[in-house]
Structure 1
Amino acid sequence: MADQAAALLEVLPDLAGRSVLVVGCGDGRYPRLLRGEGAGRVVGVDADQVLIAVAQREEERNPIGISYEVHRLDRLPVMGTFEIVLAFLDSPGRLGRVTASLAAGGLLVVVATNGLSFEEGLRDNGFRDIVLHRHESGDVHSARKAS
């Protein structure tokens, strides 16, 4: 995780006070990291109830203001409006669901969990300023949602 966390922090802008949605948050390590880096409102979402329970227990044990919800990616509702969405995805097929909660002009950061390229899917979904950040722990794509 340390290498991937460092790679993500290099890609992300200053998080001070920003709202962040983490899709595929697992046990909550990344929401906690981003909150620790100054993010304001942080929401973590994952389909795995067991992992969300782990994240919620940690939040109860050491509260820092993160909320967690269980949602399947194919049924992900609009979670509000966020300035940054960080998503761990294995396919570009669900980008529309993931980005429905991203504000116009907001930053999407996608960790490709299986090595696929998301560039075409990002372009097809109206994103601009697409950058691929290659890293040994997995490729990270960043892009801005069109205004």
Structure 2
Amino acid sequence: MVLISGTCLAQELTLTGVTSEHVSPLFLKQSQPVQGMVAAPRGLRMRNTGRALTIGGGALALGGIILMNNADELYYSTTSTQQGTVEEGDPKGALGVLMTITGVGAMVPGIIFWSKGQKKYNRYLEQQRVSLNAGARGLSLRYSF
């Protein structure tokens, strides 16, 4: 058993000759990076979110416009009286108005996110083409085309 800076590590030799480290539950040590977790390039998530908002909002707005076009009235209301329930307007028209407003409300930020995310992603790709790294082993210049 080895004590290293307050962390109790026990190394054991397996049958194949590979050592593995066991860490006490009080101190966590991650020797290997988590598999499958790769950081997304800068701007990629914003661009994809903007695309989804723009396309979804456009479909919603288009559906709302079609419903408004097929409706007799653009409002709908119900009133409960002693004689029963009185309905006025057309529910398709009211639903069409709500869908159009929601669709346009999703498309506006979607377009903004899409354009800003695309700019950030393009800038990231340019940085990946030419890079100058100064490390402990020396200076490196990388250019990819």
TM-score by length of 1: 0.16
TM-score by length of 2: 0.16
Greater share of strand residues, 1 or 2?
1
